[in-house]
A and B are shown apart, each in its own frame.
Chain A
């Protein structure tokens, strides 16, 4: 795949509602058997990728190198977040392609709630 052609691309926004069932399933997967769900775990937004059509992800696998979440304010159960993914840059580094991309979540007023920046490696073809 020619990843360079997608540099600067932003996906269509997808509205995702944080449900208690989703958060509970996430906690269970992380080995946390909480009886009461009183916060949303900070790395949870990465599971939103399954709901977003990211064209440069189709049938691709990557090595995840770095991940940074930044929150403007916490998210809560019941919140609906508009999410987009953008491919910020694609670089050649030795035998790898390095992809920098960002998942951004905004509230219903269009204000940023969180960003999730990922650095991914792919063996150059």
Chain B
């Protein structure tokens, strides 16, 4: 059963993470994705961006850190979805904010917004967490 401490409308502890070249390089290495738009400003500009951009899936990896406190307390991720709205430039600090959107007997959902200095909404996301049995 979901803990009574988890309440509809509660805000999660927000995260602020600078997505620097080191993180982008490490994500490239772990994923095998070395698309030049993530590493070379010129290649990125040729594709219409203002500078090199981070991997979309790196945003998703970083944003999932916000639910870690629940994963340490007996919940697991049943679903995790993200809609990518705008790119994040390498070197920007992104903000991840979350709110409890619904609470059921054995699961709850969290809505997440990812923003950057350039775009107020770079991604929208939702988690469904389930009680570990």
Q: Which residues of A contact B (CB under 8 A)?
A: 22, 25-26, 28-32, 38-39, 41-44, 46-47, 49-50, 61, 63-71, 73-74
Least CB separation from A67: chain B residue: B82
Is B103 engaged at the interface, CB distance under 8 Å to the other chain?
A: no
A31-B68 Cα distance, complex, nearest whole Å: 13
B61 touches which one: A41, A49, A64, A71 (CB < 8 A)?
A41
A25-B29, A30-B23, A47-B32 known; 19 other A-B pairs, CB under 8 Å? Answer: A29-B30, A29-B31, A30-B61, A30-B64, A31-B19, A32-B65, A38-B72, A41-B61, A42-B127, A43-B61, A43-B64, A44-B61, A61-B35, A63-B84, A65-B84, A67-B60, A67-B84, A68-B80, A73-B76
Tell me the minimal C-beta distance from B21 to chain A in angstroms: 12
Is B90 engaged at the interface, CB distance under 8 Å to the other chain?
A: no
Q: Is the CB of B65 within 8 A of A46?
A: no
A29 touches which one: B56, B58, B78, B127 (CB < 8 A)?
B58
B62-94 CB mask vs A (1 if < 8 Å, else 0) is 101100100110001111111110000000000
Task: Tell me the count of chain B residues lying within 8 A, CB to CB, of chain A.
Answer: 35
Q: Is the CB of A39 within 8 A of B76?
A: yes
Q: Is the CB of B79 within 8 A of A30?
A: no
Is B17 engaged at the interface, CB distance under 8 Å to the other chain?
A: yes
Question: Given A29-B30, A30-B65, A31-B65, A46–B57 Cβ distance below 8 Å?
Answer: yes
Question: Given A30-B27, A47-B30, A64-B56, A42–B81 Cβ distance below 8 Å?
Answer: no
Question: Given A32-B65, A71-B76, A66–B83 Cβ distance below 8 Å?
Answer: yes
Q: Is the CB of A29 within 8 A of B23?
A: yes
Please name 27 pairs of A and B residues whose Cβ atoms are closer than 8 Å in the assembled complex, sorted by A. Answer: A25-B30, A29-B23, A29-B29, A29-B58, A29-B61, A30-B23, A30-B27, A30-B58, A30-B64, A38-B71, A42-B80, A43-B64, A46-B57, A46-B60, A49-B31, A49-B32, A50-B31, A63-B84, A64-B56, A65-B83, A65-B84, A66-B81, A67-B57, A67-B60, A70-B79, A73-B76, A74-B77
